[in-house]
Amino acid sequence: MKSIMMTQAHLHSLCLLILYLAAGYGQDGKFSGPLKPMTFSMYEGQEPSQILFQFKANPPAVTFELTGETDGVFQIQPDGLLYCVQALDREARAVHNLQVAALDSHGTIVEGPVPITIEVKDINDNRPMFLQSKYEGSVRENSRPGKPFMYVNATDLDDPATLNGQLFYQIAIQLPKVNDVMYFQINNKTGAISLTLQGAKELDPAKNPSYSLVVSVKDMGGQSDNSFSDTTSVDILVKENIWKAPPPVTIVENSTEPHFFKITQVQWNEPGAQYSLVEKEKLPRFPFSIDQEGNIYVTQPLDREEKDSYVFYAVAKDEVGKPLAYPLEIYVTVEDINDNPPMCPSALTVFEVQENERLGSNIGTLTAQDRDKENTPSSLLMYRIVEQVPKIPADELFLVEKFEGKFQLGKQSLKKQDTPQYNLTVEVSDQDFKTLCLVQINVIDINDQIPIFEKSDYGNLTLAEDTGVGSVILTIRATDADEPFTGSSKILYRIIEGDSEGRLEVDTDPQTSVGYVKIKKPLDFETAPVSNIVVQAENPEPLVSGVSYNASSQARFQLTVTDVNEAPQFSKYAFQATVSEDAPVGTKVGNVTAKDPEGLDVSYSLRNDKRGWLRIDSATGDIFTVAPLDREAESVYQVQVVATEKGRSSLSSTTDFLLILQDVNDNPPRLAKEYTGLFFCHPLSAPGSLIFEATDDDQLSFRGHQFIFSLGSESLKTDWEVSRINGTHARLSTKHTNFEERVYNISVRISDMGRPPLEGTVTLPVTFCSCVEERCFRPAPKQSGIPTVGMAVGILLTTFLIIGIILAVVFIRMKKNNSKDNVENAQAPEARPLRS
Ligand SMILES: *[C@@H]1O[C@H](CO)[C@@H](O)[C@H](O)[C@H]1NC(C)=O
Ligand SMILES: *[C@@H]1O[C@H](CO)[C@@H](O)[C@H](O)[C@H]1NC(C)=O
Ligand SMILES: *[C@@H]1O[C@H](CO)[C@@H](O)[C@H](O)[C@H]1NC(C)=O
Ligand SMILES: *[C@@H]1O[C@H](CO)[C@@H](O)[C@H](O)[C@H]1NC(C)=O
Ligand SMILES: *[C@@H]1O[C@H](CO)[C@@H](O)[C@H](O)[C@H]1NC(C)=O
Ligand SMILES: *[C@@H]1O[C@H](CO)[C@@H](O)[C@H](O)[C@H]1NC(C)=O
Ligand SMILES: *[C@@H]1O[C@H](CO)[C@@H](O)[C@H](O)[C@H]1NC(C)=O
Ligand SMILES: *[C@@H]1O[C@H](CO)[C@@H](O)[C@H](O)[C@H]1NC(C)=O
Ligand SMILES: *[C@@H]1O[C@H](CO)[C@@H](O)[C@H](O)[C@H]1NC(C)=O
C-alpha cells in the first residue's frame, strides 16, 4: 500500500548514504562510534538496506545483539553495523525502541544494552477519506447564518502535526444553484456546514425543499499540488421554520377565568431553547409570562378602558444566552365588555329657561359618558325623564330627545310665579346599565326692564390736568328691576358723548352694579378744558321686543380740567451749531427755541459759559459770540441754555448747546523744539549738514503737515543751503568749509501750505567750535590787559600747562564718565555734523 510520492525523502536518504560513505566506513565519526544511547530520525517509505550506524566494540566484546521493536526491519551485523532491511511505515509504527548490547565470545553482555531510538518521519503517503460516502442533514429556513447544522468528517492517516495530515474542506458543487448564489458554506478546517447570509434569507421549503452538495477534502492543507483528495455527497432537507409570530390574540377584558391562562405559544426549531418576553412599551404592569415550552400566559384580568392592546416580544436564546433568532412580535387585543355604566357629566346639570319661552325651544343638552368601546351597544346611551319635581302646573312639562339628550319645552310656556325651579331625574342607560342624572331647570325672568339711573345729572366735576391715570373720579349707579344676577339685570356703562379721545372708562361692580368712572389717558387742559360727558347704562342681554332704552338710562356730568403750570419745553432735546474759529465777535452762531405749554413768554439765558465766549438774546434765543474763539483751546464748546417762563412760577428747563469750532489756519509754523546745541567742529574738513524739524498748532489735515523751507535772507545763500526732506523735516547744509569759530544765527523761513498760507521765520543757532572727540570744546575766555613779553611767555606757558592739564582731565573724565563733561554746548546728537 505504500505510495511512491516521496521525492524529497528519497533525496534525503541518498544524501545520508553518500555522507556515510564519504565519512569512511569503519572509522570513528558521525556514522561510527562506541556503544552509547542514540536516536535516529528516518523518513518512512525509503528504499531498504540502509546503513544507520557502525558500533565499535572494545575487547573482550566480539559481537553485537539487537533487541526491541525491530519489527524485522532493523538488523545488526556481528561487527556492529546497524541497518534496515525494509522501508519504514510511520502509520504502522512511528517510533522504534531498540536496544544494542555488545557480547563477548561466550555470548555474555559486556557492554550495554543501550537504547537506540528510531523516529519515523511522515511522508504524505495516505489520502484523506470521508467517513461516509453520503451524508444527510436538515436545516430550518431562516436559521442563523454561520451556525453549523451538520458536519462532514474525513480522516487521513498521515501525521496531523504535519501538512500531510491537515485536511481542507470545500463545497465543490451546490445543486440547485440560482444566480450563482451559495446558500451553504463549510468550515474549511472542521467540515461544519452552515447557511450563508443569503441562505438564511432565501431558503424556502415551499420553493425548494432539498439541496445536494458535493464536498471535497484535501490534505496538505489544500495548498499543495501534491495533495490527495476525496469527495462526498451531502443531501440537505430544508425544513419549515416554526419560529413564527403567532396570530394576534384577543382577550376579553375583566375575564372571570382563573388566571393565569394560556393565550398563545411560540416554539423554537429545536428543543432546549430558553424563552423570555420583552416589553415593547414600558408599562406600569406587564400581565404576561412565558414558560420554557414557549407557552404564553396572561397573568391577571385586563381592563380595556385602561389599555386596549398590548405588543411585546418573545425571544428564544441558546443555553449561553445568545439569541437564536430575531424576536417575535406578539399582539394582544383586549376585547370590550360592557363593564362601565354611563356617567353623568356632573352631579347636577343646570339649565335656564326664560319665562314665556315658546314651545319646542331648546333648553339645553345633557351629555353623559360611557367608557366602554365607542359605537358599540355598550356605549350607546339613551335618555329618559323619570321624574319632575314639582309637577306644577303639570307633569311632563319637559321632553328629552332619546339618543342626543336635548331638552325642550313640551307642553306650555313657564311662569315664574308657578315655580322658579324644576328638578328632573333623568335615566341614562346603555345595553346593561342605568344611571340617574339630576337636571335642574331654572325659570328666569325676561329682560323687560331697562336700567334707570339714580339721577340724570352728576353735576360739575373739576379735575387738575395732572390727575393720575387710573384714578376713580366719579361713582355712578343705575338699577334694573329684572331678575338679579342674570344677563337681564347686569348693567354695563358706556360713555356715548363728550369723550371722543377715550380718556375715560367705566368699570361695573358685578355685585352692586355700581359704575366707577376712571381716567384711562392723561387729561389735557390745553386740548379739552371742558367736556359734557353722557353715560349710557345697558344690559348684556337684549331687551324683549317693545321695550327700549330711554333717557332714564342715561346720565351726564360736566368735566372741567384745570390748568397746571408746566415748564417751557425746548423744541429739540439738544442744539448744536458749527462755526469757524475765526468768526468775528458778534457773529450769530445759532439759536434755540422753547415754548411754554401755557403759552407764557419765555426768556433765555446761558449757563456754564466758562470761557465767556457767548451771549444769548433772552427774547429770541439767538446766540452770538462775544469774544474771539479758539479751536486750539476748545474744539467743541458746550454750554447750557435755560428757558424760563415769564410769570410768577418762573418754571424753567435746561438743554445743551454744542458749538463745534472749525479750524482756520491761524498758527504759523515753528521749530518742533528748541535747537540750542547745533554745532560743527572747527575747522571744517568738508561741507557738513544738520537736520531740523518744524511743526504748527493748527488742526492736522489727513496728509499731515506739509511745510516749505527756505533761508531767511539772500545773504545767507552764499554760505548756506536749506533742503526739504519731507513735510516736517529739512536739512541745513554748509556750502563750503570757510567758517569762523563762532555762533552763526541762521534764519529760516517755514511756510505751511494752509489757506491762507502762514509763514514763520525761525533762527537756528549753529556753533563752530573746536572739538575733542567730536564734541564741542570751548576754551575759557581770554584775560584782559596787555601782558609783557615775559609775562606773555609765562602766561603762554601757564596757559599751555593749564590747557594740557585740562585736556588731560577731560580725557580722563570722558573716558570715565561721558555724562560729566566740563564742556559747554555739546549735547546735540541729533544735530551732529555730518562729515564726508
Ligand atoms: C471526525 O472523525 C474522527 C475520527 O472518527 C473523530 O475523532 C472526530 O471527532 C470527528 N470529528 C467530528 C467533527 O465529528
Ligand atoms: C479557511 O477558512 C478561514 C475562515 O474560516 C479563512 O480565513 C481561510 O482563508 C480559509 N482558507 C482558504 C484556503 O480558503
Ligand atoms: C369589571 O371590572 C370593574 C373594575 O374595573 C368591576 O367594577 C366590574 O365589576 C368588573 N366586571 C366584571 C363583569 O367582572
Ligand atoms: C331641587 O334640588 C335641590 C337640591 O338638589 C334642592 O335644594 C331644591 O330645593 C330642589 N328644588 C325643588 C323645586 O324641589
Ligand atoms: C356747572 O358749571 C356750569 C358753568 O361752568 C354752570 O352753567 C352749571 O350750572 C353748573 N352745573 C351745576 C350742576 O353746578
Ligand atoms: C323710561 O321708561 C320707563 C319704563 O320703562 C319709565 O318709567 C320712564 O319714565 C321712562 N323715562 C323717560 C324719560 O321717558
Ligand atoms: C434758528 O436756527 C434755525 C437753524 O438751526 C434756522 O432755520 C431758523 O431760521 C433760526 N431762527 C431764527 C429766528 O433765527
Ligand atoms: C521725515 O524725515 C525725517 C528724517 O529723515 C524722519 O525722521 C521722519 O520720520 C520723516 N517723516 C515722515 C512723515 O516721513
Ligand atoms: C545770535 O542770537 C542770539 C540770541 O538769539 C544773540 O544773543 C547772539 O548775539 C546772536 N549772534 C549773532 C552773531 O548775531
Burial of 298 (0-12, 13-18, 19+ CB in 10 A): buried
Contact 298, 285 (CB under 8 A): no
Tell me the C-alpha to C-alpha distance, in Å, between residue 751 and each of 555, 632, 725. 89, 19, 14
pLDDT for the residue numbered 813: 59
pLDDT band at 88 (very low <50, low <70, confident <90, very high): confident
**What cell was used for 344?**
353623568
Q: Tally Cβ neighbours within 10 Å of residue 11.
A: 11
Nearest to 654 by CA among 644, 665, 668: 644
What is the Å distance from ligand 3's center to 651 Cα?
86
| pLDDT at 635 exceeding the cut of 80 | yes
Is the distance from the beta carbon of residue 608 to the nearest atom of ligand 8 less than 6 Å?
A: no
pLDDT for the residue numbered 368: 93
Task: For the chain, give the number of residues.
Answer: 836
Q: Looking at this protein, which amino acid is placed at residue 378?
A: S
What is the Å distance from ligand 6's center to 489 Cα?
16
- For residue 459, which atom of ligand 5 is closest to its CA? 13
Q: Tally Cβ neighbours within 10 Å of residue 786.
A: 6
| Angle, CA 769 vertex, CA 766 and CA 773 arms, to 5° | 115
Lowest mean pLDDT among 4-8, 233-237, 537-541, 716-720: 4-8
Contact 230, 127 (CB under 8 A): yes
Ligand with an atom nearest the CA of residue 253: 3
What is the Å distance from ligand 6's center to 387 Cα?
44
The whole-chain average pLDDT of the chain stands at: 84
Tell me the C-alpha to C-alpha distance, in Å, between residue 154 and each of 125, 127, 130, 139, 326. 16, 10, 4, 22, 34
Whose CA is closest to atom 3 on ligand 5?
460
What is the Å distance from ligand 9's center to 672 Cα?
20
| pLDDT at 5 exceeding the cut of 80 | no
Contact 383, 405 (CB under 8 A): yes
Q: Which residues line ligand 1 (CB under 6 A)?
A: 131, 151, 153, 155, 190
Beta bridge partners of 295: 265
pLDDT for the residue numbered 832: 42
- For residue 745, which atom of ligand 9 is closest to its CA? 1
Burial of 108 (0-12, 13-18, 19+ CB in 10 A): exposed
Whose CA is closest to atom 3 on ligand 2?
188
Q: Looking at this protein, which amino acid is placed at residue 215?
A: V
| pLDDT at 157 exceeding the cut of 90 | no
- For residue 728, which atom of ligand 8 is closest to its CA? 1
Q: Looking at this protein, which amino acid is placed at residue 530?
A: V
Pocket test for ligand 1, best of 153, 155, 187, 217 (most atoms within 8 A of CB): 153
Place of cell 451531502: 234
- For residue 530, which atom of ligand 5 is closest to its CA? 5
Is the distance from the beta carbon of residue 743 to the nearest atom of ligand 9 less than 6 Å?
A: yes
> Does 201 or 792 have the greater pLDDT score?
201
pLDDT for the residue numbered 825: 40
Whose CA is closest to atom 2 on ligand 5?
460
Select the highest-mean-pLDDT range: 36-50, 155-169, 711-725.
711-725
**What cell was used for 583?**
468768526
| pLDDT at 197 exceeding the cut of 50 | yes
Is the distance from the beta carbon of residue 745 to the nearest atom of ligand 9 less than 6 Å?
A: yes
Whose CA is closest to atom 12 on ligand 2?
188
Q: Tally Cβ neighbours within 10 Å of residue 312.
A: 21
- For residue 421, which atom of ligand 4 is closest to its CA? 13
Distance CA 151, CA 236 (A): 12
What digits encode the pLDDT tens for the residues 421-453? 999 999 999 988 999 999 999 888 788 889 999
Contact 436, 386 (CB under 8 A): yes
Contact 833, 826 (CB under 8 A): no
- For residue 438, which atom of ligand 4 is closest to its CA? 5
H or E, element range at 798: helix 789-816
Pocket test for ligand 3, best of 255, 335, 339 (most atoms within 8 A of CB): 339
Ligand with an atom nearest the CA of residue 350: 4
| Helix and strand element counts for the chain (H, E) | 3, 57
- For residue 704, which atom of ligand 8 is closest to its CA? 13
Distance CA 509, CA 639 (A): 56
Nearest to 473 by CA among 445, 442, 495: 495
Q: Which residues of 511-526 are buried (b: 16+ CB within 10 A; e: fewer)?
A: eebebebbbeeebebe
- For residue 389, which atom of ligand 4 is closest to its CA? 14
Contact 243, 325 (CB under 8 A): yes
| Percentage of the chain modeled with pLDDT above 70 | 89
Q: Tally Cβ neighbours within 10 Å of residue 64.
A: 22
Give SS3 for 318: coil
Nearest to 26 by CA among 105, 81, 99, 66: 81
Tell me the C-alpha to C-alpha distance, in Å, between residue 321 and each of 273, 325, 348. 9, 12, 61
Pocket test for ligand 4, best of 419, 421, 436, 439 (most atoms within 8 A of CB): 421
Distance CA 494, CA 536 (A): 5
Is the distance from the beta carbon of residue 178 to the nearest atom of ligand 9 less than 6 Å?
A: no
Read off the DSSP letter of residue 816: H
Give SS3 for 190: coil
Is the distance from the beta carbon of residue 792 to the nearest atom of ligand 8 less than 6 Å?
A: no
| pLDDT at 351 exceeding the cut of 50 | yes
Using CA of residue 26, residue 31, residue 36, residue 39, what is the dihedral sign?
Answer: negative
pLDDT band at 619 (very low <50, low <70, confident <90, very high): very high
- For residue 743, which atom of ligand 9 is closest to its CA? 13
pLDDT for the residue numbered 830: 39
H or E, element range at 810: helix 789-816
Domains for the chain: give ranges and CATH numbers: 2-121 (2.60.40.60), 129-239 (2.60.40.60), 249-335 (2.60.40.60), 349-444 (2.60.40.60), 452-557 (2.60.40.60), 569-662 (2.60.40.60), 670-777 (2.60.40.60)
| pLDDT at 189 exceeding the cut of 70 | yes
Tell me the C-alpha to C-alpha distance, in Å, between residue 47 and each of 2, 12, 270, 805. 11, 11, 57, 126
Tell me the C-alpha to C-alpha distance, in Å, between residue 19 and each of 13, 16, 49, 315, 670. 10, 5, 16, 72, 118
Pocket test for ligand 9, best of 745, 746, 763 (most atoms within 8 A of CB): 745
- For residue 693, which atom of ligand 8 is closest to its CA? 3
pLDDT for the residue numbered 211: 93
Q: Which residues line ligand 4 (CB under 6 A)?
A: 389-390, 421, 423, 440
Q: Concatenated DSSP letters for 438-461?
A: EEEEEEE--S----EES-SEEEEE
pTM over 0.75: no
Select the highest-mean-pLDDT range: 64-73, 483-492, 618-627.
618-627
Pocket test for ligand 7, best of 591, 593, 604, 660 (most atoms within 8 A of CB): 591
Whose CA is closest to atom 8 on ligand 9?
745
- For residue 191, which atom of ligand 1 is closest to its CA? 13
pLDDT for the residue numbered 451: 94
Stretch 191-196: mean pLDDT: 93
What digits encode the pLDDT tens for the residues 775-810? 777 655 544 444 444 444 444 455 555 555 555 555
Beta bridge partners of 638: 658
What is the edge-to-edge ordering of all strands in the sheet holding 382-389? 348-354, 434-444, 421-429, 382-389
Pocket test for ligand 6, best of 536, 550, 553 (most atoms within 8 A of CB): 550
pLDDT for the residue numbered 35: 86
Tell me the C-alpha to C-alpha distance, in Å, between residue 128 and each of 5, 45, 169, 222. 15, 18, 11, 11
**What cell was used for 407?**
331638552
Is the distance from the beta carbon of residue 726 to the nearest atom of ligand 8 less than 6 Å?
A: yes
**What cell was used for 708?**
516749505
Distance CA 513, CA 507 (A): 9
What is the Å distance from ligand 3's center to 333 Cα?
18
Is the distance from the beta carbon of residue 551 to the nearest atom of ligand 6 less than 6 Å?
A: yes
H or E, element range at 794: helix 789-816
Give SS3 for 198: helix
Lowest mean pLDDT among 21-35, 79-93, 551-565, 602-616: 21-35
Distance CA 533, CA 535 (A): 7
Give SS3 for 218: strand
**What cell was used for 776?**
564741542
Beta bridge partners of 328: 314
Is the distance from the beta carbon of residue 622 to the nearest atom of ligand 7 less than 6 Å?
A: yes
What is the Å distance from ligand 3's center to 544 Cα?
53
Distance CA 785, CA 395 (A): 161
What is the Å distance from ligand 2's center to 548 Cα?
105
pLDDT for the residue numbered 790: 45
Burial of 306 (0-12, 13-18, 19+ CB in 10 A): exposed
What is the Å distance from ligand 7's center to 606 Cα?
18
Stretch 123-148: mean pLDDT: 88
Distance CA 171, CA 185 (A): 7
Place of cell 467517513: 131
pLDDT for the residue numbered 398: 93
Give SS3 for 813: helix
What digits encode the pLDDT tens for the residues 492-502? 999 999 999 89
Distance CA 23, CA 32 (A): 9
CA atoms within 13 A on the CB side of 198: 9
> Does 682 or 265 have the greater pLDDT score?
265
Stretch 187-198: mean pLDDT: 92
pLDDT band at 312 (very low <50, low <70, confident <90, very high): very high
What is the Å distance from ligand 8's center to 10 Cα?
102
Ligand with an atom nearest the CA of residue 745: 9
Pocket test for ligand 4, best of 389, 423, 438 (most atoms within 8 A of CB): 423
Q: Looking at this protein, which amino acid is placed at residue 300?
A: Q
Nearest to 767 by CA among 719, 833, 834: 833
Q: Looking at this protein, which amino acid is placed at residue 668?
A: P
Q: Concatenated DSSP letters for 327-394?
A: PEEEEEEEEP-S----B-SSSEEEEEEETTPPTT-EEEE---B--SPTTSTTT--EEEEEEEES--S-
Pocket test for ligand 6, best of 456, 552, 553, 554 (most atoms within 8 A of CB): 552
Ligand with an atom nearest the CA of residue 575: 7
Q: Which residues of 68-101 are buried (b: 16+ CB within 10 A; e: fewer)?
A: bebeebbebeeebbbbbeebbbbeeeeebebbbb
| pLDDT at 476 exceeding the cut of 80 | yes
What is the Å distance from ligand 5's center to 501 Cα?
23
| pLDDT at 418 exceeding the cut of 60 | yes
| Percentage of the chain modeled with pLDDT above 90 | 41
Whose CA is closest to atom 10 on ligand 9?
745
Distance CA 98, CA 110 (A): 18
Nearest to 770 by CA among 779, 757, 761: 779
Whose CA is closest to atom 6 on ligand 9?
745
